[in-house]
A and B are shown apart, each in its own frame.
Chain A
Amino acid sequence: MDQKYPFSQNEADRRQDLNKLTNNGKTMNIINIEHIAKIYQVGSEEVHALRDVSLKINKNEYVAIMGPSGSGKSTLMNILGCLDTPTHGIYDFTGVNVSQMNDNELAKIRNKEIGFVFQTFNLLARSDALHNVELPLIYAGVPASERKERAREALEHVGLADRVHHKPNELSGGQRQRVAIARALVTRPSIILADEPTGNLDTKTGEDIMALFNDIFELGNTIILVTHEEYIAEHAKRILRIRDGLIEKDETVANRYIPKKNGASKI
């Protein structure tokens, strides 16, 4: 695949965006979480999904979050993705405290700063690929002509230039996940949040998707990957292991698995 940056003509914009996150050239954390806890009230019982979690993630990091089911991994992901707010503690996201924000403010943050990639793709079944990718731009208030252009571009760079008007049920699993990735990238978010992105794919296709993530990472994006599979987590540079609502381990991957750059244009 041609190794130019997916949005090369907007490279200048991108640099400017990234500069916002630095202070006099010094790297600032995109994510700075301090002692957050999440408590659910189930009937008369309190469930502590997260007990006391602190963590920092810098720009252009590639982090995997691992943990068994019930570990609090999903709760952490929801909070990181601004889908939910912590009961206690402070979540500082791109220099903004989002832990006390209301629904509409969170929606705006999700729209502009976070690109979601889900296990089940979560595309709108009745809309074609282009409209699916356009959707976040619609909510951002981008005018029609510009957003069609940008959506088309994003699809092109995940290797789906010829599938623009296909609906999800006319696409393979791998292609659907590529549409979802294009949708996540199209707003040029600060982080890409991928929840088991290969969970519904066969090994070969999963590997292609991981190659695509690696490309995206190498172009300067920040990726947070939630998974329970060790070999998928090893694509990342850093692994956070969660258990019983606490970070059990925060480790750097010594022998990072780097997939072959074959993915994008192939599927």
Chain B
Amino acid sequence: MKNFLFELKEGLSISFRAIRANKIRAVLTTLGIVIGVTSVVLMSTAIKGIDSAFQKGVASMGSDNLYIDKWEWFNNDIPWWELRNRRNLTMEDYNKYKELAKLPVASAPTVWSTQTVKYKERTVEYIIIQGTTSDYINTTNLNFDTGRFFNELESSGGRQVVVLGSEVAKKLFPRGDALDQEVKIKGHKFKVVGVLAEQGSWVMGNFNPDNQAFIPIQNVFKFFQNQSFRSVTFNVRAPNSQMVNEVKEEAIGVMRRVRGLRYDQANDFSINQQEALLTQIDKTVGVIQIAGLFITGLSLFVGAIGIMNIMFVSVKERTREIGIRKAIGAKKSTILTQFISESAIICLLGGMIGLILAIILSLVINQFLPTSIQVDAFVLAVVISILTGVISGFAPAYSAAKLDPVEALRYE
């Protein structure tokens, strides 16, 4: 072991000399690895960024929630037309459910409609307007920038009040003075009672609360669409995550009663959980990950081939040097260590440059996509580059190590 360490140390110092002596070649060779490591590191951090954004988005929905819906969110078993043919869930259904279900800490009906929101000359189009009740806020983890959610009185009275998502508020009130102003939704006046804090989960797109507005549910039916147009979703919050399944069991029983189903009839509603969403996200991210790493892996592979090629050339060129070294006592393992460490060092240098490049690039990309370079990216770059160096250096190094000293010394 001590012997090996000594050999490694000397091998490294000999390799450093050789690399310094062939600067241009080392730089060119390194380029392939630089590109490879840059893309692998960037890709892996981008994937991590996407994943954490998804998770964050899901977390903002609340982790102990169930969604009783006409639709099965991630349905693999029931044909879509069967789902379509289900009766819509209605406010009446909700009221019965609320009365009968004892376990949930909070529940709220929601129904959505896409509308244009105006304030004076400013307009924001295609905003998802969520119609709901004052209980809604207790089923989520939303925070407020200013103001509050509409209260029970405003909710049951169907008052024309609105809570704006942060993006919507920013667009309509760039100076942040939204509170107590009146905005127009489809020509109807709504008073702003609150602005949500930014959730920052871009992945959810229009379903991100940042891009939504919330109004008492009666107003949706009164101004935008009639009750039967779109099914109502019940947001239900369990007391804690251990209770989620019990709440679900209760919900199934209560809903079957509410919907008047006979024992031989299948459920005509679905109980959705964000767990299903998480599973789906994990699947999606997994696919992106495999595809992304495969593609970037290819560029690393090309870089590795470049290293191998150069190392073969280097061994050929330095045949005489190898002969000299062997004549004065270098063992096979010594030569092997020397050339492998040479290629590992070249790769490591490339990896370091690649890492720096990736950090710079990720700062640029961060303007559009969430990326975060973390310590494990550093480790990844080091491990990948050393591994590439060792693997691609092995064959050339082995061919050097098994050279016959007599032949090698004669080589011109």
Contacts and interface: CB of A to CB of B under 8 A. Distances in A.
Interface of A: 78, 81, 83-84, 103-104, 107-108, 110-112, 116, 118, 122-127, 131, 135-136, 138-141, 183, 187
A209 to B, nearest CB: 19
A140 B329 contact: yes
Given A126-B18, A127-B17, A139 B409 contact: no
A139 B406 contact: no
Given A83-B405, A126-B17, A126-B21, A108 B329 contact: yes
Contacts of B329: 107-108, 110-112, 136, 139-140, 187
B320, B324, B328: which has the most chain A beta carbons within 10 Å?
Answer: B328
Contacts of B17: 126-127, 131
9 contacts: A83-B327, A104-B331, A107-B330, A112-B329, A122-B409, A125-B321, A126-B18, A139-B328, A139-B330
Contacts of A138: 10, 14
B404 to A, nearest CB: 8
Contact of B328 (A84, A103, A126, A136): A136
A83 B406 contact: yes
A138 B10 CA distance: 7
A118 B328 CA distance: 12
Interface string B1-41: 00100100010001001100100000000000000000000
A104 B402 CA distance: 11
A141 B6 CA distance: 7
Contacts of B324: 122-124
B326 interface: yes
Interface of B: 3, 6, 10, 14, 17-18, 21, 320-321, 323-334, 405-406, 409
Contacts of A108: 329, 331
Given A110-B327, A139-B325, 7 more contacts: A78-B406, A84-B406, A104-B331, A104-B333, A122-B320, A122-B327, A139-B328
A83, A108, A138: which has the most chain B beta carbons within 10 Å?
Answer: A138
Contacts of A103: 331-332
The 4 A-B residue pairs with the shortest CB-CB distance, nearest first, are A111-B329, A139-B329, A126-B21, A136-B328
Contacts of B6: 141
A46 B34 CA distance: 52
Contacts of A122: 320, 323-324, 327, 409
Contact of A107 (B3, B320, B331, B406): B331
Nearest to B18: A126
Contact of B334 (A78, A110, A139): A139
A124 B318 CA distance: 10
Contacts of A110: 326-329
A169 to B, nearest CB: 12
B406 A124 contact: no
Nearest to B328: A136
Nearest to A111: B329
Contacts of B18: 126
A250 to B, nearest CB: 25
Contacts of B327: 81, 83, 110, 116, 122
A121 to B, nearest CB: 10
A122 B323 CA distance: 9
B409 A118 contact: yes
Contacts of A183: 328
Contacts of B333: 104
A136 B321 CA distance: 13
B19 to A, nearest CB: 11
A126 B321 CA distance: 10
Given A122-B320, A138-B10, A141-B6, A111 B328 contact: yes
A104 B334 CA distance: 10
A189 to B, nearest CB: 10
Contacts of A131: 17
Contacts of B323: 122
Contacts of A84: 406
